[in-house]
Chains A and B, each alone.
Chain A
Amino acid sequence: MLRYTLKRLAVGVLTLAALATITFFLMKIIPGSPFGGELAQLSPEVREMLYAQYNLDKSIPEQFFIYIRNAITGDFGESMTRKGTAVATIISRCLPATMKLGFAAFVTAIVVGVLLGVIAAFTKQRWVENLVMFFATIGVSVPSFLYAIMLMIVFGVVLGWLPIIGLKTPLHYIMPAFSLALYPISMITRLVRSSMKEVMKQDYIVLAKSKGTPTGRIILGHALKNCLIPVVTYAGPLLAFLITGSFVIENLFSIPGIGSEFVNSVTNRDYTMIMALTILFGSFIIVVNILTDMLVAFIDPRVKLDKKSA
């Protein structure tokens, strides 16, 4: 287990290095510069100073090596569009809001999704199952920005129950978290239902039934654990996706989060911000993938981690 984890981490670091390299050179191909419009008004001397300050006067490979050297020591430079502010400061200011929101959405998605999936798989009423599955299909058919708009119109504008803008109180979390969670809820409901139906046909469930085990214990003690594997493999990347923020939702609800920061930094050619955020997102995804694989092995002892090529 330890050997496997170390191996995966080593591969992860290599992946991260490759990711940083690709992004750095791809980023430099984009036409335009972070100083955009204001550049024309600057005198040549000031422009040179500005370029020298961010090492933009050097060749691109040289810039790359300087960046990597600094990044390894934990120095991600300062933002190019907001001069004098370190990238790390901006990230640490935006990340908590996004992570809290993402985590709220994640927990909602797992709890509601598993619950609905179990209900759909076990209900005796055919119409309950059809109703749940109908909403689950609608859930995967509507883009999240449309839920967000509809929620805003209904609960924010017409009924006036929930605040629309910002993340000040727990009440503010409800709408953005729900708009983020509706798609995953529907996905998880579908996954749980189909894998639950599969599991319920297995011999050990039939045995448990014939021994007179109450249904509740069959679901919780025998079936649920075995149908969780597809959910876990889906939930891992989902967590990475949610806590790195959704630009649309943050934009619509005016939340100053990391997702909108990312899109803005790309459109503004803020090179240092792009690099730092890419490395941050990349590491999230890599760590979450490793954790997911370990969790699957923990739930299902038949999965052998060391045998799989890491």
Chain B
Amino acid sequence: MEQIQNIEGLQLTPDLFEPLSEAEKNSEFIAAAPRTYLSDAWHRFKENKLALCGLVFLLIMVVMAIVVPMLSPYSYEQMDYGAINLLPCTEHPMGTDKFGRDIFVRVMYGARISLLIGFSSAFICLVIGVVYGGFSGYIGGKVDMVLMRIVDILYAIPNLLIVILIMLVFGSNVGSIMIGICLTSWIGMARLVRAQVMSLKEQEFALAAYVLGASTPRILFKHLIINCMGSIIVNVTLLVPSAIFTEAFLSFVGIGISAPAASWGTLANEARTLIESSNPIQIIWPILAICLTMLSLNFIGDGVSDAFDPKKK
């Protein structure tokens, strides 16, 4: 008030009306480009050094798994009785097994199978789980009731039973292990998506989309699923290691991938008999490969879940 009263007494000199210097003009300029939700998460992810190391290691592993079996002079099943149980040397970086097969190539070939199973079954579970859970949660009512009872039944079947039965019916190969793993693992994803969609569909933006005449699939996928992407991605980072675990476990028991093909579980199983024998170092390589890959997957998982949920730490 006082200022307005005093307005007549103001001394207005021309130097009050000079333009700002360039530096002052830009003082509130936002340097960074606007970020989307995903790039925001990626920036937080990058801060986590362990997760980044995990990602780098995993990428190296993927590249090696693809390239090494292609370039190496040895194949995973080629036996050489002149070079049995060799220790690591220049020709065989990890040595050879009791049939003279190159362990390095076999471990990398195992990486192909294990990573393929891990990633593709996680992807299949993602698709099935999101669609099933999304529709169940969005439509609700009787449909939801029926769909969820089916899920409950599947949940009560011991998953080992499903996997073993599927493998016996379709034979022990990568495909049937994947089917077996997928049949049981999508359930967690479906439940998660359903719960999220059920709470999101009550919100105003979903109602607004409905009023504007958006179709059901559009509301579901463009509005609701996008908004629970964070927890879906976090769940996927858990699915990959658990699928790799299941496969390693089955192959270790001897009902998974069968010889001469090799996954990490098969390799660990083959080498188990050698613990007390001439060359116990053979078991180290597949174990090392499994543990380091799982470790980096878990670091990535932790990084991703922190990146999408910065409050939780």
Interface size on A, residues (CB 8 A): 43
Residue A305 CB within 8 A of the other chain = no
Q: Is A27 an interface residue (CB 8 A)?
A: yes
Q: Which residues of B contact A70 (CB under 8 A)?
A: none
Partner of B272, one of A149, A263, A267: A149
- CB of B249 within 8 A of CB of A248, answer yes
Residues of B within 8 A of A206 (CB): none
Contact with B along A225-254 (1 / 0, CB 8 A): 000000000000000000010011001000
Contact assessment for A30 and B169 in the assembled complex, using a CB-CB cutoff below 8 Å = yes
Q: Is A18 an interface residue (CB 8 A)?
A: yes
Q: Are B158 and A244 in contact (CB under 8 A)?
A: yes
Contact with A22, one of B152, B157, B276 (Cβ below 8 angstroms) = B157
CA distance A32 to B164 in the complex (A): 14
A75 at the interface (CB under 8 A from B): no
Contact (Cβ within 8 A) B158 A137: no
From A34-42, A91-99, A281-289, give the one contacting chain B: A281-289
Interface residues of A in 1-30 (CB under 8 A from B): 11, 14-16, 18-19, 22-23, 26-27, 29-30
Task: Determine whether A153 belongs to the interface, using a CB cutoff of 8 Å to chain B.
Answer: yes
Q: Which residue of A lies closest to B246 (CB)?
A: A143
CA distance A137 to B287 in the complex (A): 16
When distances are taken between beta carbons in the complex, the residues of chain A under 8 Å from B272 are: 149
Please give me the 7 A-B residue pairs with the lowest Cβ-Cβ distance, nearest first.
Answer: A141-B294, A141-B295, A30-B168, A281-B158, A18-B153, A282-B156, A266-B164
Can you pick out 18 interface pairs between chain A and chain B where the beta carbons lie within 8 Å of each other? A15-B152, A22-B157, A23-B157, A23-B161, A23-B165, A26-B169, A31-B168, A137-B302, A143-B290, A153-B275, A197-B313, A266-B161, A266-B168, A267-B255, A278-B157, A281-B161, A282-B156, A285-B156
18 new A-B contacts, CB < 8 A, other than A15-B156, A145-B252, A262-B158, are: A11-B149, A23-B165, A26-B169, A30-B169, A142-B291, A143-B248, A146-B268, A157-B275, A247-B160, A251-B253, A262-B160, A266-B168, A267-B164, A282-B157, A285-B155, A285-B156, A286-B156, A309-B145
